[in-house]
Amino acid sequence: MNLRLRISQIRKSHNGDRVLDDCSFFFEQGGVYVLTGPNGSGKSTLLRICALLERPDSGEIAYFLGQERLEDNIFLRRRVTLVLPQVGIFNTSVFNNISYGLRVRGAGRSEIEQKTAEMLAFSGLTQKRGQNAPSLSSGEKQRMGIARGLVIEPEMLFLDEPTASIDETNTRLIEEMILEKKKQGITMIITTHDRAQAERLADKLLMIRDKKLVSVPA
């Protein structure tokens, strides 16, 4: 895995109000980048732009594999995954929710079983595999969402407020999941308004200040 991301002079407005102004940064492969700032500062918007789910008004998003710049196509989009807080939960089992990305990619039955079982164990949800996903607690739903993002083995994972509005136990479990995946070389870009959490997780701490992306000294 050697996927890198460069954003250059990103600008974005919503309903005529400027949200992001001249945001530039180079995300190297590996490690955890944490983007912090108050609610409404543009963190989630920038994350969606980086994940190719929203277009900026101007500026450039460029992904590189080694020195080769990648085209924006389905092959690139399968290398990156965005996990939003408790979004897209299907009215079916936890197993089927986590395995969804594998099934749409045409994975075989044995691969689906193996990789989904691994993610169930990794997220602490093995005992919940047959449970209807909407009945999970908020924290369990968020762990399931992260597991669903990871099961397809992305090279870059975006997490938008992964522990917002959940209890302390699930917050700790999710932080442990993030730190464990960091050891495996996955690049993660995470938003949070919790500065203490940002400092616990971040290899590189970033902040949106006055609509610009700035690096925060350790």
In tens, the pLDDT along 19-32 reads: 999 999 999 999 99
pLDDT tier for residue 1 given thresholds of 50, 70 and 90: low
The domain ranges of the chain are 1-79+154-218, 89-152
CA 175, 35, 162, 109 dihedral sign is negative
- Distance from the Cα of residue 12 to its chain's centroid: 20
Q: Rounded to an integer, what distance in angstroms lies between the CA atom of residue 144 and that of residue 99?
A: 10
To the nearest 10 degrees (0 to 180), the angle between helices 109-122 and 138-150 is 130
Which of the four pLDDT bands, split at 50, 70 and 90, describes residue 207?
very high
Residue 218 reports pLDDT greater than 70: no
For residue 36, the model assigns a pLDDT of 93
Tell me what the mean pLDDT of segment 185-197 comes to: 94
What would the two tokens of residue 19 be? 């949200």
| Residue 160: closest CA among 30, 58, 21, 51 | 51
pLDDT at 39: 84
Whether pLDDT at 73 is above 90: no
For all residues of the chain together, what is the average pLDDT?
94
Do the strands 32-36 and 187-192 form a parallel or antiparallel pair, or are they unpaired? parallel
Buried b (16+ CB within 10 A) or exposed e, 159-184: bbbbbbebeeebbebbeebbeebbee
Query: If one looks up domain 1-79+154-218 in CATH, what number appears?
Result: 3.40.50.300
Average pLDDT over residues 162-182: 95
